[in-house]
Structure 1
Amino acid sequence: MTSYEGILLGMGNPLLDISAVVEDDFLNKYDVKLDNAIVAEDKHVPMYEDLISNYNVEYSAGGATQNSIKVAQWMLQIPGASSYMGCIGKDKFGEELKKSIKAAGVNVHYLEDESVATGTCASCVVGGERSLIANLAAANCYKSDHLKKPENWALVEKAQFYYIAGFFLTVSPDSIQLVAEHSAANNKVFMTNLSAPFICEFFKDVQEKALSYADYIFGNETEARTFSKVHGWETDDVKQIAIKLSQWPKVSGTHKRITVITQGPDPVVVAEDGKVKKFPVVPLPKEKLVDTNGAGDAFVGGFICQLVKGKPIEDCVKAGCYASNVIIQRSGCTFPEKPDFK
């Protein structure tokens, strides 16, 4: 009998999602492209107030890794199976985040920084497609000193599975390194995500280092193609890229690496042992699509929920597809009280 308590640990950038349906003009005003994920620049700063003042906004606990952990926890329905670390501010948004993530059953150990505001992410939705603009603020202030505290490192030692999305590479690569090394040394499972084209482009070196520890690499087709371009692979073929990623040099040889690339409504591509399998996704009629925010994160959460139970890849992908299908029919990365995944 596996003890599931604390079996899964995530680290990342905890953000409060501020979601609203906007029009193309709003995106153009702030020079934002649809279906992209970026970090806020000066020109984006007024946008948050604009959203809150002029649109019907909804708040939810966000940040890529936190979303995935939240979904895995929801799918597992075992209180305390997952833990999460990241940095928030001591403010009302921070309180919102704590309330929301604790209600989801995740054991959070936030670093709370008094000098910076809690990070927020504007999720602007046009025709069901989302664009994310993250103002990291406190999330950018995570320090590995917090990770090394005995009560926090205990979470690392307890966990058997780790998931840290690529966004955290911009914040605390040394924290990622500590967890990755622990995972490799103890034959545990370390998972990461390509996360966004800008990570593949501008954080190439730290990303390469993290990937060399990864037993599972997740990503979507845009990120995969960007990675291929940055590394001069001269192919746009997602299947080829997935194979090359799975064969990327690996620090620990205990587990062979598996690459999982989602392609929106097209089949999920899974590469291992130089071979590719494709899994169709559950089709969703256009009129049921509410908001793609969190779809990729939810896929990872669903996938991980079956992985920690020792289920085969087919079941992991099926659970991932189920979770993202639930999420895109709702606003933000939210879900009903209980999953009905079979």
Structure 2
Amino acid sequence: MADSGVLLGMGNPLLDISAVVDDDFLNKYDIKLNDAILAEEKHLTMYDEMSSKYTVEFIAGGATQNSIRVAQWMLQIPGATSFIGCIGKDKFGEEMKKSSNFAGVNVQYYEDEAAPTGTCAVCIVGGERSLVANLSAANCYKSDHLKKPENWALVEKAKYFYIAGFFLPVSPESVQFVAEHAAANNKVFITNLSAPYLCEFFKDVQDKFMPYTDFVFGNETEAKTFSRVHGWETDDVEEIALKISQWPKASGTHKRITVITQGADPVVVAEDGKLGKFPVVLLPKEKLVDTNGAGDAFVGGFLSQLVQEKSIEECVRAGSYASNVIIQRCGCTFPETPDFK
């Protein structure tokens, strides 16, 4: 059994606002189907319009928060997980709290007075979707919030920390505090390469925190980008996974483990100079609904077993199971209880 508060995530919370819209709406905001973009000035009124004009579903999103929600769902122990991030003081922030608390996650949001809650519009027409993300308040997290006694208590209580790469440019100071705490107290610090642009444009920030990491997740595209920017001159995912796992460490308590997913191909795990390959659960094409959040779900499933000190093989199996469930549904959502055995 996992303890209360055993896993703490920090990241960029975004409220997914999902609705079936029409072509007129897409044209009005110059949105193309099967696309994912960051919101520009012309998109800023669409979020309120969606929620007033269409039947919308509000789902707490953002990469790290998705993984934490999935881990919480797999664990089925109220309060086993906690999450810290920044939202606005507005109705979308209230929806985010409601959604996260309903999932059983102990959320401690910093509420920014000036910026609205970060949102991601999920516009659906004819079963196809387009994503328009507006980070807004998610970009405003301050380490002063983390230092508050009631929030730092969550850090002290947790034994495992998950902070995806997306949070590194937002509050590197907060990440540093948690990373140093984990290294000094023999706890487990976990990150994710998260996106090729982070490997390219935030290389120095990423490299600074790499020595503190005990687990590094990523997909094959991110791994290849990481290799290229570090001049490793290899596209071999297994070789890259090994090189990341052998990066110098700040603490010798845990050996670093690298976990690279490759879609339908086996998951590559590098640990202690050795490689493991684990097949994923393949899904018939007709059952595939939405791959959005599949990687987040894999990490969440993996972490749900890791915090229970299960074997790496079992962690990967749980990750594949969770990912399989999520891609059969719209958004990063799941049934009431898992049937993972």
The two structures have a TM-score, normalised by structure 2, of 0.91
Structure 1 CA distance for aligned equivalents of residues 251 and 127 of structure 2: 41
Matches within 5 A, 1:77-88: 77-88=76-87
Distance apart, 1:56 and its partner CA: 6.7
Q: Structure 1, residues 183-213: CA drift from partner, whole Å, max 9, x if none?
A: 0000000000001111111111111112221
Relative distance call for 1:31 and 1:233 in structure 2 (3 A) is farther
Give the aligned residue type for 2:286: E
Contact kept, 8 Å, 2:269 with 2:276, in 1: the verdict is yes
Letter paired with 1:275:
K
Q: Which amino acid aligns with 2:6?
A: I
**SS of equivalent to 2:281:** coil
Question: What is the alpha-carbon distance in structure 2 between the residues aligned to residue 113 and residue 291 of structure 1?
Answer: 32
What does residue 236 of structure 1 align with?
A: 235
Report the equivalent of 2:320.
321
Distance 1:335 1:88 in 2: 23
- Give the equivalent residue in structure 2 for 1:59: 58
Structure 1 residues 3 and 291, CA, compared in 2 at 3 Å: closer, same or farther?
A: closer
1:252-306: CA deviation from partner (whole Å, max 9, x where unpaired): 1110000001111111111112221111111101111111111111100100010
Number of the residue aligned with 2:135: 136
1:245 and 2:240 aligned: no
Q: After superposition, what is the alpha-carbon deviation per residue over 1:76-112, rounded to whole angstroms, capped at 9, x for unaligned? A: 0111111111111111110110000000111111111
Correspondence 1:293 to 2:292: yes
The equivalent residue for 1:145 is: 144
Q: Which amino acid aligns with 2:203?
A: K
Q: Which runs of 5+ in 2 are unaligned?
A: none
Query: Where does residue 92 of structure 2 map in the other structure?
Result: 93
| Identity rate, percent | 75
Cα 1:48/1:154, change in 2 over 3 Å? same
| Contact 2:83–2:106 (8 Å) recurs in 1 | yes
- 1:247 to 1:22, Cα distance in 2 relative to 1, 3 A: farther
Q: Is 2:201 aligned against 1:207?
A: no
Residues 34 and 128 in structure 2, CA contact (< 8 A), matched pair in contact too = no
- Bigger drift between 222-231 and 48-57 goes to 48-57
The aligned counterpart of 2:170 is 171
TM-score with structure 1 setting the length: 0.91
Residue 122 of structure 1 and its aligned partner are, at CA, apart by 3.2
Relative to structure 1, the CA distance from residue 131 to residue 228 in structure 2 (aligned partners, 3 Å threshold; closer, same or farther) is farther
Asked whether the equivalents of residues 60 and 99 of structure 2 are also in contact (C-alpha less than 8 Å), the reply is yes
- Compute the displacement of 1:170 (Å): 1.8
Give the counterpart letter for 1:319 in structure 2.
A
State the number of aligned residues. 339
1:224–1:31 Cα change, 3 Å:
farther
Q: What amino acid maps onto 1:112 in structure 2? A: E
Distance 1:7 1:99 in 2: 22
The question of whether the paired residues in 1 share the 8 Å contact of 2:32 and 2:130 is answered with: no
Task: Answer with 184-193 or 227-236: which moved more.
Answer: 227-236
- Closer/same/farther in 2, CA of residues 194 and 43 from structure 1, 3 Å limit: farther
Displacement of 1:3? 6.0
Query: Is the CA contact (8 Å cut-off) linking 2:291 and 2:327 kept in structure 1?
Result: yes
Distance, in Å, in 2 between the alignment partners of 1:127 and 1:208 is 43
Gaps of at least 5 residues in structure 1 are none
Residue type of the alignment partner of 2:62:
G
